[in-house]
Amino acid sequence: MTDLVPIGRALISVSDKGGLIEFARALAGYGVELISTGGTSLALRAAGLKVRDVSEVTGFPEMMDGRVKTLHPMVHGGLLALRDDDEHLVAMAAHGIEPIDLLVVNLYPFEATVARGASYDDCIENIDIGGPAMIRAASKNHKFVTVVTDPEDYAALLAEMKRTDGASSLAFRKQQAQIAYGRTAAYDAAVSTWMAGAIGEETPRRRAFAGTLAQTLRYGENPHQSAAFYLDGSNRPGVATARQWQGKELSYNNINDTDAAFELVADLGTEVPACVIVKHANPCGVAKGATLAEAYARAFDCDRTSAFGGIIALNRTLDGATAEKISEIFTEVVIAPDADDDAKAVFAAKKNLRLLTTGGLPDPKAGGLAYRQVAGGLLVQDRDAGQLDLSALKVVTRRAPTEAEMADLLFAWKVAKHVKSNAIVYVRDGATVGVGAGQMSRVDSTRIAARKAQDMAEVLGLAQPLTKGSVVASDAFFPFADGLLTAAAAGATAVIQPGGSMRDAEVIAAADEAGLAMVFTGMRHFRH
């Protein structure tokens, strides 16, 4: 194996000291000379290991509060020198530069510093300079140098050295170089993104995005598509941070749908128990209730057919009674802030059901960015954190909504925000009774939602659909009166919509003639 490079000297400089001592002892056991900096050097010496300080190698002391210590030809020459280039070897000999075969670096905890809300100056101080420079140098020279940037790779390196009797293979070095470049790219992306926010730059010239692999998925939306799940480090409660208690691995579609369900249930708040059932990223049933079990039952009764194999999100701790109700049909995922022992015991018999708990709900008012790929680029926008200003609601019809109608209108509006456009949502007594999603025509969404309510009336044995006496929400304005009149024909008595159409006067007149109450929000919630 001619590509093997023995590891004789290692430079170690790490912020995360986890596993460091055991790892360094193993390296020393192979006779590797250890060079180190600052706190890492102190930790190794305290453990009884022989270490050379970088300042001894460079001939310069660490200075400027540690800002300058490894930015030196004695370090970078040792990392970058091509061992098969005679001119490089002559330069090394002339200047007393010794080769460095292994670089072990993890960076200043910039992301963690930002996450804890540190000041601007503290964040700046936690931007690593020497670390990324060394990592990039070692990675570029992976023909000869091994680089490790994650403590989780210590074991992999030691296994490689055991297999090769203290060396590393080119294939291993290439793999670690790719990991290292990914780390520095993610680090720079975090710095760039933070700084854009810190200085108020909403549209920076260049956007950098990064993620850490959480899970390789069996496939993507379809079996012929490969896929993986990456974390962005934001720690927003949800599917990315949840604990999975049981069930098989989440799929691409599971993750997407679970996120949609949990974001919607969070928008409903915690004042009363609430349940969301999602199928293919659209809610097929949403309801409030005196208990979670009641909320689930009412959400289920909106569209029992679509609920089969769906995703369920709850806004409170899942209890045994609710779990019993849920377990009556096949459900892919249940996600909640928590689950009690009774609920876990009920679901233990459902081996294909995934139970996730998050420890809390995401803040629907929190900012953040949303991305979508298009051919040749990315669309980037603020997360839709828009919340209604109740004082800005405008009653535009002769009849104002009753108190009960207004409560349902506000509930319907929150649901419509999470339904794919064109979105129409019928609500009665704090529960959806018809949802129309993703149609090219708003009137078609209105008809589909009403038709679903008719179908469910037959299933439930009702004399008439629950849209009779309901309210309706539209995520964007009615461009014509036809959609509104279709909702009225379905039995809706009140409407909430953004307004702003050229034909608002015509739509308002139609509402008045039909005896509807209608309010304008001045805000739309397109969701494509």
Give the residue from 225, 277, 289 showing the smallest Cα distance to 251.
225
DSSP output for 455-488: HHHHHHT-SS-TTTT-EEEESS--SSHHHHHHHH
18: pLDDT strictly greater than 60: yes
Q: What is the pLDDT of residues 429-461, one digit of tens each?
A: 999 999 999 999 999 999 999 999 999 999 999
pLDDT for res 63: 66
| Residue 303, phi then psi, degrees to nearest 5 | -160, 80
Whether the predicted pLDDT of 2 surpasses 70: no
Q: Stretch 452-473: mean pLDDT, rounded?
A: 95
Angle at 24 between CA 21 and CA 27, to 5 degrees: 155
Taking only the tens place, the pLDDT of each residue in 263-310 is 999 999 999 999 999 999 999 999 999 999 999 999 999 999 999 999
Kindly report, residue by residue over 144-177, the tens digit of the pLDDT: 999 999 999 999 999 999 999 999 999 999 999 9
What are the phi and psi torsion angles at 289 (to 5°)?
Answer: -165, 170
Residue 210 pLDDT level (bands cut at 50, 70, 90)? confident
End-to-end Cα distance, the chain = 54
The pLDDT value given to residue 312: 98
Distance, C-alpha 364 to centroid of its chain: 14
Residue whose tokens read 């097929």: 284
pLDDT in tens, 490-525: 999 999 999 999 999 999 999 999 999 999 999 999
140 catalytic? Reply is yes
Quote the radius of gyration of the chain (alpha carbons, Å). 30
- For 223-247, what is the mean pLDDT? 93
Q: Which residues contact 59 (CB under 8 A, 6 or more apart)?
A: 74
With bands split at pLDDT 50, 70 and 90, how would you rate the model's confidence at 1? very low
Is the peptide bond between 254 and the residue preceding it cis, with omega within 30 degrees of 0? no
Angle between helices 154-164 and 170-198 (to 10 degrees): 160
pTM of the model: 0.86
Give the torsion through C-alpha atoms of 293, 298, 299, 304, to 10 deg. 110
**Which of 422, 449, 454 has the alpha carbon at shortest distance from 436?**
449
Q: Which of 88, 280, 325, 468 is catalytic?
A: 280
User: d(Cα 131, Cα 7) in Å, to the nearest integer?
Assistant: 20
CB-based contact 436:447 (threshold 8 Å): yes
Percent of the chain with pLDDT over 90: 81
Residue-wise pLDDT tens digits, 50-101: 999 888 787 777 767 666 767 788 888 999 999 988 899 898 899 988 999 9
| Residue 369 vs residue 6, higher pLDDT | 6
**Annotation says 394 is catalytic:** no
